Structures are given as structure tokens and as C-alpha cells.
């Protein structure tokens, strides 16, 4: 259904104000997560440092998890920006197989660095995190590295699951030891090298 | 903590009776799922066909999802049995790389065949389905197929995620088109062949 311009509702300035509050809150939350760790950021402290009422914070994000989800979305956007326009081999300019290996390393480091944030954003009732940006990128590089392969689509789906699945699984369990990211990076590189070798 | 034989509690016969009821209910539920599809099996119909009270059904399984979870556990056990003792190349007796390819095909077919059952068992608050039997098996075959690789553990973790992740992800989303299992089987075979090629 198309949105309809209603003759009532909040005036335009208030909506612009709401957007500013939201961006401000996300910025402050990012700072606090970096300083204190996600699990030590309370809604009270966030509202206080942002100079806003606690009611405003809840109105913008619904729950405590909601704010971490918004911060994670921001971090995702910055990551995608590095992939799309940053220096090679993560960014454009290197052979596809090299970019694929670099993407795996960067993605695993990103996921590991944001574990606490991702865990803090989990308990909100939301669908499974979308993997589309990773999927889109891996499929593109795979099509370039293996132009003769017919099943680039499903192979990309499996590679993204191989890359992100172990970390997502780890996230949803509480009883595990430490996540050995370096080993995952190395075995991802083995996987990609053998897959794209000609 | 060791279980302790308590001097009170239900008498032995009642516990044996409970175990029989449980096995009977799972058997009837399996039949009904095969006949009607998981989404058409109601607790009332299950209790009626099993000749038990609805209260007994809920006492044994907690929720509607609980009974489907128990049925899925049974199916999993039968699958593991085929892998461990069935005919080659899924069962023992073929080279490890061939067994790995056959395992992927059989596992994807198993997951696809039990999609409705898995979906019906999802809405109960449980941890992520354990992947340990698959992980154990893939790690063993990988160690045999690639004895020189150092990181068999993490590589196996990634391969199992590649195998089961796309189906799990599909399960948790409602908005997707059909799952193309044949394509997943073919690209799994490509992945395994290149990984184990020497």
C-alpha cells in the first residue's frame, strides 16, 4: 500500500527532529559500545549521555536490543563501504580469487569484533540476520573467478554459510570455548584457493 | 550431579508406562506426519489416534512443537544409522572423498524431506539444532581424504555450515521461493571434489 499524506499526524519539523535524535543516539551508542563493551551499556546511561529522556530512547528503538541492532546496522554499512570502495584486495582492483580470500578474512574479523554487539542485539524478536550483502559480493567474485561454473548461485550460498555460519552458531550458544577466528580465516583461505584453482 | 534413587516419586511401573506412551506417541505422530504432512497434524487428532488423553500428550511433549521435535530426533537417529552402517558410498567402504560427496547429497535430501517437520518443530524455545553428528562425520572423512591438512576441525565446521546453513536459513524465512535441492547437491559435489583433489 502506498503511504498516504495524512492531514493530521506530527508536523514535518518533528519528523526531522526524530531522525536527528535517532542518528545522534546511534552515534552516542557506538561511542559507548566502543568504550564500555555492549553488555555494559545501559539505557539510562545512554539517555543521559545523549541528553535525551529515557522515553525518547525507547520510542526510537523499542527495546535495549533494538539500539544495538541499529548500531550493528551502521557498522555493517561501514563494512560494506570498505568492500565496495576501499583499498584492494578487499576493495576493487585485485583478482577475484584474491578478493574472495580477503573478503573472508575481513568478514570473519568483522564478525568476531562485533560478537558482543551481535549478542546484545539478538534477544529482540527479529528474523535471522540477512546475509544478502555478503551473498551478493561472494556471488559476483565467484562468477569472475570461475566463469565456467554453472551453479555460482548455490555455491555462493554455501560459501557464505561456510563463512558466517560457524560464527552465527557460536553466537547462539552459550556453552562454547573461545572462537578461534585465525583458524577459521586460514581454513577459509584453503577452501577458496582450492575452489578457484585452475 | 549423579542421579539419586529417591525413596518417593512415581512407582517404577508408572515410569515404564510413561516411556511406552512416549514411544507409542512418537510412532503415531510419525505415521500421521507421513500421511497428512506436519502442518495438518493436530494434538486432538494425535491423542485420539493414539488412544490417549490430550493431557497425556501435552504432559509428554510440552507443546505441539515438542512432539515434532521428538519425531525429528527419531528421523535423525535413523539417518545417522544409515551413515554409520548402511551401504557405501554413504556407509563405510568407499574412499573418503566419495563418502563426503554422498553424505552431502543424502544430508540435503534428508533436510529437504523434513522441511515441514523441522518448521513445525521450530517455534518451541530451544537452542539452535545441534550439528554435532554431521560435524563429527565430516571431520572424520576430511581427515581421511586430506591427511596433510592441519585445520581439519575448522574446515569441517565450515563445510557443515555450507551443507546445512542454506536449508536452516531457508527454514527460518517465510518469504522465499522453492528450495532448489538438486542445485545445492551439485554445488556441494563441486566444492568437495575441488577441496579433496590431489
pLDDT at A14 over 50: yes
Interchain CB contact of B169 with A (< 8 Å): yes
Distance from the Cα of B149 to chain A's closest Cα (Å) equals 9
Q: What share of chain A is helix, strand, coil (3-state, %, to 5)?
A: 70, 0, 30
Q: Taking the CA atoms of B66, B70, B56 and B37 in sequence, report the sign of the dihedral they define.
A: positive
Q: Which of A188, A114, A138 is nearest to B158 (CA)?
A: A188
Which pLDDT belongs to residue A1?
A: 39
Burial of residue A175, with CB atoms counted within 10 A of its CB: 0-12 exposed, 13-18 middle, 19 or more buried: exposed
Distance from the Cα of B162 to chain A's closest Cα (Å) equals 4
Residue B89, phi then psi, degrees to nearest 5? -85, -5
Average pLDDT over residues A132-157: 87
Contacts of B194 in chain A (CB under 8 A): 194-195, 197
pLDDT tens string for chain B (198 positions)? Answer: 344 444 444 445 557 888 888 889 999 999 999 899 888 998 899 999 999 998 888 888 888 888 888 899 889 999 999 999 999 999 999 999 999 999 999 999 998 888 888 888 876 455 555 556 788 899 999 999 988 777 888 999 999 999 988 887 777 665 556 678 889 999 999 999 999 986
Interchain CB contact of B149 with A (< 8 Å): yes
Cα B79 from Cα B107, distance rounded (Å): 8
A130 DSSP 8-state letter? P
Q: Which of A90, A111, A125 is nearest to A181 (CA)?
A: A111
Which pLDDT belongs to residue B7?
A: 42
Give the chain A residue whose CA is nearest to the CA of B146.
A190
Contact between residue A60 and residue A18 where contact means Cβ atoms under 8 Å apart:
yes
Contacts of A195 in chain B (CB under 8 A): 190-191, 194-195
Could B183 and A154 be called an inter-chain contact, meaning their C-beta atoms sit closer than 8 Å? yes
Q: Which of A135, A115, A187 is nearest to B157 (CA)?
A: A187
Burial of residue B125, with CB atoms counted within 10 A of its CB: 0-12 exposed, 13-18 middle, 19 or more buried: exposed
- Kindly state the cell numbers that stand for A37: 563493551
Average pLDDT over residues A55-83: 89
Which pLDDT belongs to residue A101?
A: 95
Contacts of B128 in chain A (CB under 8 A): 169, 172-173
Cα A146 from Cα A162, distance rounded (Å): 18
Contact between residue B117 and residue B75 where contact means Cβ atoms under 8 Å apart:
yes
Distance from the Cα of B36 to chain A's closest Cα (Å) equals 28
Give the chain B residue whose CA is nearest to the CA of A158.
B162
pLDDT at A108 over 70: yes
> Around Cβ A87, how many Cβ atoms within 10 Å?
10
Interchain CB contact of A195 with B (< 8 Å): yes
A10 DSSP 8-state letter? S
Cα A34 from Cα A149, distance rounded (Å): 43
Contacts of B169 in chain A (CB under 8 A): 128, 131, 161
Could A169 and B131 be called an inter-chain contact, meaning their C-beta atoms sit closer than 8 Å? yes
> Around Cβ B189, how many Cβ atoms within 10 Å?
16
Give the chain A residue whose CA is nearest to the CA of B163.
A158
Contact between residue B50 and residue B25 where contact means Cβ atoms under 8 Å apart:
yes
> What is the DSSP track for B106-133?
HHHHHHHHTHHHHHHTTTS--PPPP-HH
Give the CA dihedral B73, B77, B80, B81, nearest 10 degrees: -170
Interchain CB contact of A191 with B (< 8 Å): yes
Contact between residue B164 and residue B76 where contact means Cβ atoms under 8 Å apart:
no
Could you give the ipTM of this predicted complex?
0.76
Cα A96 from Cα B1, distance rounded (Å): 54
Q: Taking the CA atoms of B188, B190, B194 and B198 in sequence, report the sign of the dihedral they define.
A: positive
Interchain CB contact of B21 with A (< 8 Å): no
Give the chain A residue whose CA is nearest to the CA of B175.
A127
Could A187 and B127 be called an inter-chain contact, meaning their C-beta atoms sit closer than 8 Å? no
Amino acid at each position: 500500500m502506498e503511504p498516504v499524506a495524512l492531514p493530521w499526524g506530527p508536523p514535518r519539523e518533528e519528523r526531522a527532529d526524530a531522525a536527528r535524535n535517532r542518528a545522534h543516539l546511534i552515534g552516542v551508542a557506538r561511542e559507548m559500545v566502543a568504550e564500555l563493551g555492549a553488555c555494559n551499556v545501559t539505557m539510562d546511561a545512554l539517555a543521559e549521555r545523549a541528553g535525551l529522556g529515557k522515553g525518547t530512547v525507547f520510542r526510537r528503538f523499542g527495546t535495549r536490543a533494538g539500539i544495538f541492532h541499529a548500531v550493528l546496522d551502521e557498522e555493517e554499512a561501514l563494512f560494506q563501504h570498505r568492500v565496495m570502495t576501499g583499498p584492494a584486495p578487499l576493495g576493487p582492483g585485485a583478482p577475484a580469487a584474491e578478493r574472495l580470500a580477503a573478503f573472508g578474512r575481513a568478514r570473519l574479523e568483522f564478525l568476531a569484533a562485533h560478537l558482543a554487539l551481535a549478542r546484545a542485539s539478538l534477544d529482540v524478536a527479529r528474523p535471522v540476520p540477512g546475509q544478502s550483502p555478503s551473498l551478493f559480493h561472494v556471488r559476483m567474485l565467484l562468477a569472475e573467478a570461475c566463469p565456467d561454473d554453472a551453479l555460482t548461485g548455490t555455491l555462493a550460498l554455501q560459501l557464505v554459510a561456510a563463512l558466517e555460519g560457524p560464527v552465527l552458531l557460536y553466537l547462539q550458544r552459550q556453552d562454547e570455548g573461545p572462537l578461534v577466528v585465525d583458524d577459521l580465516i586460514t581454513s577459509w583461505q584453503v577452501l577458496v584457493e582450492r575452489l578457484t584453482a585452475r
